[in-house]
Structure formats: C-alpha cells, structure tokens
Amino acid sequence: MYAIQGYLSYSLTYFYAICYGPRHAVNLQGRIMRLNHPSHTGSILIGLMIIAGLAACTGSTGAPVIGPQTGNVTEYALNSDPSTPSRPLGVAVGPDRNIWFTEFAADGIGVLNLSTLAVTHYPLPSAGSNPTHLAMGPDGRLWFTETGPMDPDPTDTGPNNLGQITSAGEISEIQLPVDDSDPTGITLGPDGNIWFTEAATGDVRRSTAEGSISDPIGTTTANSMPGAIMTGPDANLWFTESSSGIIGQTALSGTLTEFPLPDSGSSPTEITIGNDGNLWFSESQSSKIGRITTLGAITEFNTPTGSSVPEGMTLGPDCNVWFTETNANLIGRIDPAGNITEFTIPSANSQPVGITVGPDGNLWFAESGANQIAKLVPPAGSRTDCATVALPPVAKCQNAKVNTDPGSCTAATVSIDNGSFDPQSLAFSETVTPNGPYNLGTTSTTLVARRSPTIAAACTAEVEVDDSEAPKLTCPGAVVEECTSPAGAVTTLTPSATDNCPNLGIAQCAGSGGTFALGTTSVNCSVTDGSHNTSTCVTSVTVKDTTPPVISSLSASPAALWPPDHKMVPVTVSVAVTDTCDASVSSRCKIVSVSSNQRCDRNALKITGPLTVLLEADRDDGAARGYTIQVQCADASGNTATGSVTVSVPHDQGRGDDHDQGRYHDDHQRGFSRH
C-alpha cells in the first residue's frame, strides 16, 4: 500500500492518520481517489478500507507479553531542512555493500555509506516518480519501482517506470506498457529476471535485465492491489495482495495460486523468507505477523502492541524474522515459534517502514516520518548464523557473431558471456538457453548465472550465425567439339556444386548452351549460395574444324584451246566450294598444279594467279592434248579438298568430243590426282 496518489475527504484521512500514521493516510487518499475515478469501481474498496481502519483501531487480541525493550538504535538524518522531507521507504544493500533507500517524497534514491556515514542523494529524472521498493538486479544494479505522482487529479498518471541505478549513481528508467499501473513490489526472481507487482492493475510482470517487459503473469483477484513480492524457498514467486487479504504464488510459467487469509481485511503488506523455510508476512491493518508454508498452511501471530501496523519484513542476522511497526514506532522480532519481542526507537513518530540486514550484521531500516535511516544492533548474545549478506551474481551478456562450423550450417560453440561474475567471489554455474548448435541466422539466447535454485541472475543476447563458407564447385572437364557452322558449335557445360547450407544457387558456366567460336575459349563457372558466398572455377571449350571443304564443281574457261597455233592462252578456273565452318573458303582456292598428257615444253603452261593459268595451244600431230589443272581449296583450319579440271587442245575440231574438254574431276572424292 505504498504511495498511491490522490485525495480522500479530510475526516477520513485524519482518522486513518491517527490509526496508522501520515504515510498510510496519504496512501489511502490516493488509492481511494483513483478508485473513485470513473475508470475504477472504488465504492466497495472505500467501504472495506473504512471497516478495516475501524477494526485496526480497536487493537490486538493477542495474549499479554512483556513490553518493548530498549533498542540499540542509531539514527542518521537524511537532510537538515524539515520542509523538504525525503520520506525514505524501501531499503536494500547495494552493489557497493552500502545501504540504499528510496526517497518517496524527494523523487530520488539515496545511499548511506557505511564507512563514512555520509548520505548521498540521486534525484530521479522523472518528477513525481515516487519510488517505493528496491532490490538488487541481475546486472549489478539496484532496481526500483516508480509508483507515480501524488496528484489530486486522478487523470494525471505521471511516471510509471522501473528504475535502475548503479553504485556510481547512474540512473536509467524503463517505461511500463500500461499507464498508471502503480508498480510496487520488486525482487530478483529464481530465473534471474526482475519480477514486480502492479497495484493498480492487479498484475505481476517480469522484466529482463535489458528491459523487455512480459505480458501480465498470474493476474490476481480483481482490485487485489498486489504489493511486496519475493522469491520463495520453492523457487516460485510469492506476493501479498493488500486489498483482498490474499497471499499469492505464481510459478515461473505463470500458474497462479492464491491463499486467502482468515481476515480478508488484514491487508498483507510485506513478505520475506524465514530461516524455517516458510514465508513470513506483515498484516498492517490487523496488526499481525503471518506465516505460510509453501503448501499454503497459514498461522497468524498478534503483535504485542495493538494497532502497530507492521510493514517491512526481513530475515535477521540472528535467523529470526524482524519487522517494522509503523504506527507503534517499534521494531519487532519473531522467532519460528511465534514469540515476538519489540524494540523501541529513539525518535518519536519516526514511522519505520522498510528493513533489511546490512553487511555489518545489523538491522537497517527507513524512518519515513523522521526522514532518517536507522541502525539497530541485535541484543548481545544473539545468534549470527544469518548475518551474511549474499548479493546475487552479476550476469553480463554480449551479442555474438560467429561463422558456421566447417561443413555445417550451424555453429556448435558460441559464448555470449561478457564477464559474468559473483561480487563475493562465490561459486556459480552458467547455463545458456537455447544451447548450441545454433542455426543460421539470429537466435535470442539467455544466460543464467546461478548460485542456488533461488539465487540467479540472467541476461539476454543475440547469437548471429553467418555462413562465410563458399560452396564447393566442380567444373566440367575441358570440352572439345566439332564445329557445326561458321559461328562454331553449340555447347552445354554442366558444373556441379555442394554447400554446407541450403538455398544453394544454380551452378552455371558462362555461355553454356550457346555457340562457342572456333578455337579454345576459357570459360568461367560460378555458383552463389544463399549467404552470397561465391565459388568460381575455369574450364575450356575447344571448337575444332577437322572436316574438309566440299568442292561441288570446277570449270575452266576456255575449256578447249583452238586453233593450235602455239600461242599462250589465258585460262580461268571457276570453283563451287562449301565448308561447314568457313563461309569464305572459296577465297582460299588456288591452282596447285598443271599437267599434260603429252610431252610439252615447260613453257607450255604457266600458273599466273590463284585460279588463272596460261596454256599453250599446241598438240602432238597424232593426238589431242589435254591439260589437267588441279585446284586445292583450304578452309581457315587448314583442311583441304582438291579437284581437277581438263582443258583440251583437240586433234581437230571434229574430234573434240574424244577428249575431256573442260570436265571436272574431284580428285579428293576419287582418291587420286591427275598430273
């Protein structure tokens, strides 16, 4: 019931202040004002609070006990100006092992240095934040709740944050997803995350060290106003429901169990673990101390002083449970059997609230009304078995970026630990969930540094697994093709490829399926995987031409020389030739030899050009003469074809048909040459 904003009527506020002290009056004002807002059903709660207040003022029905003992208490003033009270509420041991506290009225966090006894104040960034509870977090920082402003306007919600502060006083805030939810209790859960209650919404939520807030977990009874929360000995979260008179339990999975108290108006407020393995809690309106087993069995004990309004709870250095009595201005102690001893405080109406064990083995508590932090030394001869203050481990994570293991699409070994440690050098274990191997891409992981089933710290990080391994590419062997056209030959090349990860692209060779020109072409092949890794290799395509040209016809002009007047007659040979691979083969035809069937003078024939020759128009007296002209055509690759044509010198014009007058002979096709 810490710090809920608003105003109630003056008479009811005054009545409540008399019974429970100014702090509770302020809290009641705000809660009733908020619940009277059209968005809340406040009339029932107002009635319950009035009835509960009247019942509380009637006092306790417990058996008579010895009066309060004088407490060995030392008080430390927080400021010298009474007009600017800080109103300390929650107290906790910080990472520097000093006493830290929330300053509700001053919107700040304070620290009392145990070595110098100097007090330092750290104002919060958000005005009207009204911090209430604080606890060590998983990251070596103190976390605290900011309930919001005490403002008469119920529509002015103000800050609604979780806060963090380092031992150097560096502050950051995390805005909660629901406006005006009134975050109240806060604790480090058994999973290493921060758990907190929201009094206005009746919800329990969880935050990672990085500030990721969960959906509501274990929504409680309507208008239950959950308050303090802590990790129980069963590794569940236990919390008080002030308005409904219930002790709640939620598993990490969110499964909720509620245990109603005998008196629904008892207003359970704070809770702690006893050395007996049970949960102990304060009942502020019924002035009782309650005990609940992890199975839900409840026992209640009246405080010796009636209307004491017990609040803060802690396991003391002597292994008993200690608590503050806000209205009675006392510090109480209860042993496992339920025997209560009370200790006086020097300052009148100091309104003790939060309490904890300090690293010096003493009890430290906040005096909200006196604006002081006080120390109580347990009576001489007290046990000290539970005096050790064990801070949680500090989990430190960092994002990790690694490559896949060779030949695999996963990474088996990845570390996200960034120097997790235990502030007291105590042994702890580490687990990472999920554990490797990690798939390609990004995986959100959680590191938990655990010292016991209930003491742990967690942090989260991203594991990015990249694939930098190039595919394995095998090029086809060198290819030799026969040309099929003057352009070359159509050739298909098929490389093969494998990769460590799926989504391998198609292995391709440049120009595959197209026409490769005559000669040898170097061909680049490549393949790219889904992570843009590329492999290349080189092969070659050789297009050769081993097919000779085809001479389809030869003709000579003139084909017959007449008259045989011994003159030299120019003769031109025409060639019809084709080649599969050489369109210009005809330009490479030439006369390679000229022969005669008769003896003749060497000057009787003379090659004058590629396809021209001078032939003597002459013959022997007894027969016609025939000149055989042999022509060779060569393609660009050097393949040749030869043919011959005959030019005759007839015996006479009437017997010209007896000779091969201009007839074409394809010697290549016939398989011989005529000379």
Distance in angstroms (rounded) separating the CA atoms of residues 264 and 218:
20
DSSP 82-130: TTS---EEEEEE-TTSSEEEEETTTTEEEEE-TTT--EEEEE-SSTT--
Contact present, 392 and 456 (Cβ < 8 Å): yes
**In which residue are the tokens 């009811």 written?**
12
Cis peptide before 558 (omega within 30 of 0): yes
Instruction: Write the burial class of residue 407 (CB in 10 Å: 0-12 exposed, 13-18 middle, 19+ buried).
Output: exposed
Distance in angstroms (rounded) separating the CA atoms of residues 21 and 369:
9
Distance in angstroms (rounded) separating the CA atoms of residues 23 and 370:
11
DSSP 383-415: --TT----PPPB--B--EEEEPPTT-SEES---
Along the chain (675 residues), what's the average pLDDT of each consecutive run of 10 residues?
A: 29 31 39 36 31 35 66 92 86 97 96 97 93 97 89 63 97 93 96 96 95 87 92 97 96 94 96 97 97 98 97 98 98 97 97 97 97 97 94 97 96 95 95 94 97 96 96 97 95 97 96 96 97 97 96 96 94 96 95 92 90 93 91 95 96 58 46 34
- Tell me the CA distances in angstroms from 32 to 181, 201, 632, one per residue in order: 15, 14, 119
Helix and strand numbers (H, E) in the chain are: 4, 49
Q: What is the pLDDT of residue 602?
A: 80
Distance in angstroms (rounded) separating the CA atoms of residues 206 and 222:
20
3 state SS for 448-503: EEECCCCCEEEEEEEEEEECCCCCEEECCCCEEEECCECCEEEECCCCEEECCCCC
Neighbouring residues of 191: CB distance < 8 A, sequence distance ≥ 6:
206, 252, 448, 456, 458
Cis peptide before 548 (omega within 30 of 0): no
**Which pairing describes strands 161-165 and 171-175: parallel, antiparallel, or unpaired?**
antiparallel
3 state SS for 291-316: EECCCCCEEEEECCCCCCCEEEEEEC
Contact present, 161 and 146 (Cβ < 8 Å): yes
Q: Residue 31 — φ and ψ, nearest 5°?
A: -65, -45
Q: What is the pLDDT of residue 653?
A: 78
* CA-based nearest residue to 186, from 168, 167, 165: 165
Distance in angstroms (rounded) separating the CA atoms of residues 475 and 526:
9
Distance in angstroms (rounded) separating the CA atoms of residues 657 and 663:
11
Helix (H) / strand (E) containing 373: strand 372-377
**In which residue are the tokens 């209650």 written?**
197
Tell me the pTM. 0.76
